[in-house]
Amino acid sequence: MKTLVLSLVAGAMAAFTMGCTADTASSSEADNGRVSEPIIGGTTDSGDPSVVGIVLTDSSGSQYICTGSVISSTKVLTARHCIEDMVSWEVRVGTNINSPTSTLAVSKGAYSPDGDIGVLTLSRATSLTPLPYNTGTLDSGDIGASVRAVGYGSNKTNSGSGTGAGTKRTGNTTIRGLQVDTFSTYNVLCHGDSGGPIFENGTIIGITSYGNPANCTGYGYSVRTDLHADFIQSH
């Protein structure tokens, strides 16, 4: 889900789209029809430098937060709903999206017509180390595997206590099932984590997409990179 910077974007849907949050200095909630997710119960992540925050701007000037992963010197992997209907993007490096250590300009975005996955192209090459992503087929043997999520999303459920989106966090969870285009995890994700990586043994196997229900208390669903490897490689 994406989140208004830095407020959570709440949607009136049974299932939420994770990933983006509005780019503001407040932690108030806004109803923008677009939901994003944080790492629930996670810890502040001062590592993972190639996992970056993304501030997106729509045609009205409203700004949102998503998460992304540098996968080459000029490419950032994220979710389709963090790109679609947006007019500009800025990549922010560091632990806190409001006080980045550096920013990276984006020249264009592209997204798959078949799934919630997209790629941003940087205006200039970055020296950040590219992260590997999985191209091998996931199967039933992956169910029960331990995975790690990273994102800039909120650290609270919609009705619970915690802090707002904007700080990079990481948390561990487990794959509970495989779906046609996604895999599900016991949820640590929430508003603002959309587009962020799910790692298995240091390799990205999924991109945070949505949760069900939309209050950050249920399961998280991530788009599988193995099913979209051709799109990723061609963009």
Range of the domain at 126: 1-235
- Going from the C-alpha of 161 to that of each of 8, 155, 195, the distances in angstroms are 13, 8, 24
Instruction: Provide CB contacts within 8 A for 10, sequence distance 6+.
Output: 29, 30, 31, 32, 35, 158, 191, 214
Q: What is the pLDDT of residue 153?
A: 85
Q: Which neighbouring-strand residues pair with 70?
A: 76
Q: What is the pLDDT of residue 136?
A: 96
Closest of 57, 78, 2 to residue 33, by C-alpha? 2
Q: How many domains does the chain have?
A: 1
Q: What is the pLDDT of residue 29?
A: 23
- Block means of pLDDT (10 residues each) for the chain, length 235 residues? 42 37 33 38 88 96 95 98 95 96 97 96 98 96 95 68 75 93 86 91 96 75 96 95
Q: What is the CATH number of the domain that holds 125?
A: 2.40.10.120
Greatest extent of the chain over all pairs of C-alpha atoms, in Å: 46
Phi, psi of 227 (to 5 degrees): -85, -10
